[in-house]
Structure 1
Amino acid sequence: MLVRLLTRHLRPYTGLVIVVLVLQLIATIASLVLPTLNADIIDDGVAKGDTRLIWELGAIMLGVSAVQAVTQIGATWAAARVAMGVGRDIRAGVFDRVLSFSSRELGEFGAPTLITRNTNDVQQVQQLTFMSLVMLVAAPITGVGGVIMAIRQDVGLWPLIAVAVVALLLGMGLVIWRMVPLFRAQQKQLDAVNRILREQISGVRVVRAFTREREETDRFRATNTELTRIGLNVGDLMALMFPMVMLIMNLSSVGVIWFGAHRVEAGQMEVGSLTAYISYLIQILMSIMMATMVATMIPRAGVSAERIGAVLQTDSTVTTPTNPVRPDPEGLAGRVDLRDVDFTYPGAEAAVLHDISFRATPGTTTAIVGGTGSGKTTLLRLIPRLADVTDGAVVVDGVDVRDLAPADLWSRVGIVPQRPYLFSGTVASNLRFGNPDATDEELWEALRIAQADDFVGSFADGLEHPIAQGGTNVSGGQRQRLCIARALVARPEIYLFDDSFSALDLSTDARLRAALRPVTREATVIVVAQRVSTIVDAEQIIVLDEGRVVGTGTHAQLLETCPPYAEIVRSQEHVTAGEVG
């Protein structure tokens, strides 16, 4: 998974990767040449007192060092550019895929893990990309080249290199083997921390209302403590690495000096060659350590890559048709038909909606009422294809919504959700979600219809008044009216109001509905409502009970023919009478 992910996203940076590898090759060769030059100075220059040779070889060493430094800096710069670009592309890919998800996929993954996968997991892959490019050429060439150059200096000491390399590989392999399950547990625990933190931030009012601060603090502390424990275990293993490397390196150096001194004394080896041999040994062990550093990152990046790949390889159940159908331009724009619609949530034992059929035509208002859990919101979500029907069909302008291009369908629909949501920005930027080219006059007109022009006009900066994430710096009623205005700015053919008037008082509700009538005269309006007063004038009222249509007609007709509707009306009359009393 990790290799496929990196290969796919590295492809646009092929040229820059080649530059990195060439620069790394030059720098590595330079590093292998330096110990030999140093040995020549010791053996020929210092030993014979040849100062001219010392100056010449010294100048060459400085030049080689300069080339090594410049190429290493260039390689690091290029590797950083590649790694940052790969991280950017992966994040963009995950973001685009998540935007295409239906509510089913979003529910399966959950928001906390999707956020973690697009931030921390991408960062792990990004860091591995950078470290691999920086050390991909240097480590193996330095290791192999160091062995060759060391044996070239003296063949008799090669067993020391073999023992040191094997000891280091075994030690590092054991550490990495122990790290893999810890990294997997660490990423899952990070998901858990993010999930609890998000729940507590979103539900802080509920937590305070029920005085659950201590319990929630304990819940977060337990999860955070577990994440800390796993992190400490990883840290303990990491802490073993460098002392182990230094121990093997120092013991190897002592061994080379000990046995090398005997060979120098016996005339089998020169002092300069011994010095070069020690330098090559250190380079060999350092190359193994560099390779091991990258290797320790591979398990965690591999886990992260699997998690990212799971998102990228998940296709939305709401798919784009291969050959989308264009609605007949001569047809009745905005007509909605539900034909024998059933819907079942994934994993549910029973359907939420059963055999739903009705038609909503332009110029009319269709209201959907029913008790809690009767499927009103679920039914409304099927029209813009936020989820696909299990059986039957939702038809817009004579075409099944599954045969329409999603963009074509969504451009025809303006929806005001049950829980209004505003994005961080300004009043204007939120209203222009429906139409980026809308003028200020059009925005004010939409605000006037939505009964929001009064409070927006009271802001010192008007349309440029800042809106916090989620619209938390305005009241619930103001947030609801801004969402209605946002839908009005788009001027769609179909308006979907999902219990969008419940946060408004009765007088504001009445004024808003009166202002809406001229604007929506030629559009199809479908309203989910709890208050009967909101939909009493609707041309068609659909009554749902346990996911089935139990009544269809006007307010007057349903009072006589539909007992569940009559019961809803009586219950609201009692509540209103009680409130007045």
Structure 2
Amino acid sequence: MIKAIGKHKGLLLAALVTMLVQVGAALWQPSYMKQILSVMADTSLSLNGKVDKISNYGVALIVIAVFGLVGSILNTITAAKIAQVVSADLREMTFRKIQTFSYADIEKFNSANLVVRMTNDINQIQTLLMMIFQVLIRVPLLFIGAFILSIITLPQLWWIIIVMVVLIVLVTGLAMRIMGPHFASFQQLMDRINAIARDNLRGARVVKSFVQEKNQAQKFDKESDDLLQHNLAVGYTFSTMIPAFTIISQLAIFVAIVIVSTLVTKSPAVAQDQLGGIMSFIQYMMQIMFAIIMGGMMSMFASRGMVSMGRIREVLDAETSMHFDTTADEELDGAIEFDHVDFAYPNDETPTLKDISFKIDPGEMVGIVGATGAGKSTLAQLIPRLFDPTAGTVKVGGKDVRHVSQNTLKRTISIVLQKAILFSGTIAGNLKQGKPDADDTDMNRAAQIAQASEFINRLPEGYNAPVEERGNNFSGGQKQRLSITRGIIKQPKILILDDSTSALDAHSEKLVQDAFNRELSATTTLIIAQKISSVVHADKILVLDAGRLVAIGNHKALLASSEVYQQIYATQKGQED
């Protein structure tokens, strides 16, 4: 946070200088008012003499006001620029930090929570920075200056200032104590509201299909009403602060005027100095009150900004749970080995994988089957090191994946996830995520293997055809084929297909499998599938049950030896019949 602010030392200096000009002008003006009133009360001066002096003081007041106005304008400009550039830097720093997070780190924070932090929280910090350089730093300077000058102006009334300050501080402290817990709840409620809105927008079809609009609206209304109650509580408390400050300040002014009038009556000899000083004293009192009121108001809003700053700092200071070796990039073959691997998700006491051991030779096609929840996808995600095992070792090319550089691992392995995710842009832009320097030849080859070229070639723009948000302008099968194309375009040594042909019809799936056998014979291919028909021709099949590897072999051997595989096959065969 400090690093982001410290990059703009020139703007910081400009903001402080213009603020000093603004404060100096505000503190200087009352002294001239005292001089004007003293001249008016001076019986030794002629009328012309009074007019000349008052005119001179009036010109000085105008000059001071102009300096103050220019300082205020420049201060507002510099404060706004600081707030904008620092918030932009923070947004970029936060996004870059999130890119270093592992799956476990993102699950820890929650994706909706991270979106709120990058948007709403940084907006709160932007407002806080604007207030700091426009108001919060000015408040103590104005308070101290007005306090000292008020006592110098009328020393005998020092105690009135003290009493007024103490009363205003007590009211402010009480209000902040009441409002503080509400501010702490704001961001949590914003997280929940954002999550509800996001889920409803993403699942609009599901909501409408099951006629859940009313239930979803009620859920949203509940969270929104909770936020409303917190806002109202803050508003009610805040609405009592200004009247309380006004009463305190007006009483202080009344007492000051009464005391000065008494002093003038008792000692007419000092009437000129006392009458001239009372106006300056009142102005300094008002400046003191203004400083405290502004400090209280800004502190109220700043407390929300500080909560947001803490949330952003929590992201920026988070230790990434996964670290890659800084070793030089190297070439690895497609061999895979699991050696007594256990894995449990964060905050989950029950292991998802238990004592998994197997070896896969380069170029083999391996199927992974099992019931839903058996741990198939989890096992596959350990290979490209999306997660680290809780125990045991995962090796690629004979090397522990924890001791391989990130570039080496990403260049060696491609994974096509079960849910086909496309980014808005173009088809070419999505495919180049797999290989940034891919040309038309690379894209055509990969698309032909994935059987995506048949619909891409029908599009007028071809590979430059637009992709809408989440690929909504393509069918499920088309999105899966584009995802497979993106996975194989860089010609990886290891290709992992996590049930990535589930949306394809039998004919299209057969064409994809034939293309794999023909074009990717040197690539180690892992196919996670619900249907045994998708892996029946694999060199070997891993059978998982409740997180354990219960059998390994080809289709024929497993039908003869594995009870779990026999049950899966019998169920699917029965459904087909």
TM-score by length of 1: 0.92
Aligned AA (1:109): F
Separation in 1, partners of 2:247, 2:382: 66
- Any stretches of 5+ residues in structure 1 without a counterpart? none
Asked whether the equivalents of residues 382 and 394 of structure 1 are also in contact (C-alpha less than 8 Å), the reply is yes
Which residue does the alignment assign to 1:34? 29
Asked whether the equivalents of residues 435 and 489 of structure 2 are also in contact (C-alpha less than 8 Å), the reply is yes
Q: 2:307 aligns with which of 303, 307, 332?
A: 303
Which residue does the alignment assign to 2:9? 14
Instruction: Please state how far the C-alpha of 1:325 moved relative to its aligned partner.
Output: 6.3
CA spacing shift, 1:261–1:457, aligned 2, 3 Å: farther
Instruction: Please state how far the C-alpha of 1:419 moved relative to its aligned partner.
Output: 0.8
Asked whether the equivalents of residues 142 and 283 of structure 1 are also in contact (C-alpha less than 8 Å), the reply is yes
Which residue does the alignment assign to 1:552? 552
Runs of at least 4 residues off by over 6 Å = none
Asked whether the equivalents of residues 341 and 353 of structure 2 are also in contact (C-alpha less than 8 Å), the reply is yes
**Which aligned pairs between 1:66-145 and structure 2 lie closer than 5 A?**
66-145=66-145
Asked whether the equivalents of residues 43 and 272 of structure 1 are also in contact (C-alpha less than 8 Å), the reply is yes
Secondary structure, counterpart of 2:489 in structure 1: helix
Instruction: Please state how far the C-alpha of 1:474 moved relative to its aligned partner.
Output: 1.8
CA spacing shift, 1:458–1:45, aligned 2, 3 Å: farther
Aligned AA (2:324): T
Which residue does the alignment assign to 1:543? 543
Asked whether the equivalents of residues 325 and 399 of structure 1 are also in contact (C-alpha less than 8 Å), the reply is no
CA spacing shift, 1:500–1:137, aligned 2, 3 Å: closer
Which residue does the alignment assign to 1:217? 217
Secondary structure, counterpart of 2:8 in structure 1: helix
Q: Tell me whether 1:376 sits opposite 2:376 in the alignment.
A: yes
Separation in 1, partners of 2:104, 2:439: 36
How many pairs are equivalent? 568
**Which aligned pairs between 1:236-251 and structure 2 lie closer than 5 A?**
236-251=236-251
Separation in 2, partners of 1:347, 1:381: 18
Task: State which drifts further: 236-245 or 472-481.
Answer: 236-245
Instruction: Please state how far the C-alpha of 1:344 moved relative to its aligned partner.
Output: 1.8
Secondary structure, counterpart of 1:418 in structure 2: coil
Secondary structure, counterpart of 1:522 in structure 2: coil
Instruction: Please state how far the C-alpha of 1:421 moved relative to its aligned partner.
Output: 0.8
Instruction: Please state how far the C-alpha of 1:69 moved relative to its aligned partner.
Output: 1.7
Which residue does the alignment assign to 2:327? 324
Instruction: Please state how far the C-alpha of 1:402 moved relative to its aligned partner.
Output: 0.8
Q: Deviations over 1:212-257 (max 9, x none)?
A: 3222222221121111111111111222222222333333333333
Q: Deviations over 1:455-501 (max 9, x none)?
A: 23333333333222222232111111111111122322221100001
Secondary structure, counterpart of 2:556 in structure 1: helix
**Which aligned pairs between 1:47-62 and structure 2 lie closer than 5 A?**
48=45, 49=47, 50=49, 51-62=51-62
Which residue does the alignment assign to 2:453? 453
Which residue does the alignment assign to 1:364? 364
Q: Deviations over 1:303-354 (max 9, x none)?
A: 2233333333332322233x53654x4xx52222222211122333432212
Which residue does the alignment assign to 1:275? 279
Aligned AA (1:141): L
Asked whether the equivalents of residues 46 and 54 of structure 1 are also in contact (C-alpha less than 8 Å), the reply is no
Q: Deviations over 1:58-112 (max 9, x none)?
A: 2222222222222222222222222223322332333233222222222222222
Aligned AA (2:321): T
Separation in 1, partners of 2:53, 2:465: 76
Separation in 1, partners of 2:413, 2:225: 47
Instruction: Please state how far the C-alpha of 1:56 moved relative to its aligned partner.
Output: 2.8
Separation in 1, partners of 2:33, 2:340: 87
Q: Tell me whether 1:313 sits opposite 2:317 in the alignment.
A: yes
Q: Deviations over 1:538-565 (max 9, x none)?
A: 2221111222222222222222232322
Asked whether the equivalents of residues 337 and 395 of structure 2 are also in contact (C-alpha less than 8 Å), the reply is yes
Secondary structure, counterpart of 1:18 in structure 2: helix
Asked whether the equivalents of residues 337 and 358 of structure 1 are also in contact (C-alpha less than 8 Å), the reply is yes
Instruction: Please state how far the C-alpha of 1:125 moved relative to its aligned partner.
Output: 2.6
**Which aligned pairs between 1:382-531 and structure 2 lie closer than 5 A?**
382-531=382-531
Asked whether the equivalents of residues 25 and 137 of structure 1 are also in contact (C-alpha less than 8 Å), the reply is no
CA spacing shift, 1:502–1:59, aligned 2, 3 Å: same
Aligned AA (2:36): I
Separation in 2, partners of 1:236, 1:136: 23
CA spacing shift, 1:349–1:150, aligned 2, 3 Å: closer
TM-score by length of 2: 0.92
CA spacing shift, 1:39–1:400, aligned 2, 3 Å: same
Q: Tell me whether 1:44 sits opposite 2:48 in the alignment.
A: no
Task: State which drifts further: 370-379 or 118-127.
Answer: 118-127
Task: State which drifts further: 467-476 or 457-466.
Answer: 457-466
Which residue does the alignment assign to 1:572? 572
Asked whether the equivalents of residues 360 and 526 of structure 1 are also in contact (C-alpha less than 8 Å), the reply is no
Aligned AA (1:320): F
Task: State which drifts further: 296-305 or 377-386.
Answer: 296-305
Which residue does the alignment assign to 1:156? 156
Root mean square deviation, CA, Å = 2.2
Instruction: Please state how far the C-alpha of 1:269 moved relative to its aligned partner.
Output: 4.1
Which residue does the alignment assign to 2:18? 23
Aligned AA (1:17): L
Instruction: Please state how far the C-alpha of 1:136 moved relative to its aligned partner.
Output: 4.0
Aligned AA (2:164): A
Instruction: Please state how far the C-alpha of 1:519 moved relative to its aligned partner.
Output: 3.4
Asked whether the equivalents of residues 45 and 53 of structure 1 are also in contact (C-alpha less than 8 Å), the reply is no
Asked whether the equivalents of residues 334 and 363 of structure 2 are also in contact (C-alpha less than 8 Å), the reply is no
- Any stretches of 5+ residues in structure 2 without a counterpart? none
Asked whether the equivalents of residues 329 and 407 of structure 2 are also in contact (C-alpha less than 8 Å), the reply is no
Task: State which drifts further: 359-368 or 441-450.
Answer: 441-450
Q: Tell me whether 1:203 sits opposite 2:203 in the alignment.
A: yes
Asked whether the equivalents of residues 476 and 503 of structure 2 are also in contact (C-alpha less than 8 Å), the reply is yes
Aligned AA (1:365): M
Q: Deviations over 1:494-535 (max 9, x none)?
A: 211000011000111111222233432322211111222222
Q: Deviations over 1:347-367 (max 9, x none)?
A: 334322122222233322111
Secondary structure, counterpart of 1:318 in structure 2: coil
Task: State which drifts further: 309-318 or 476-485.
Answer: 309-318
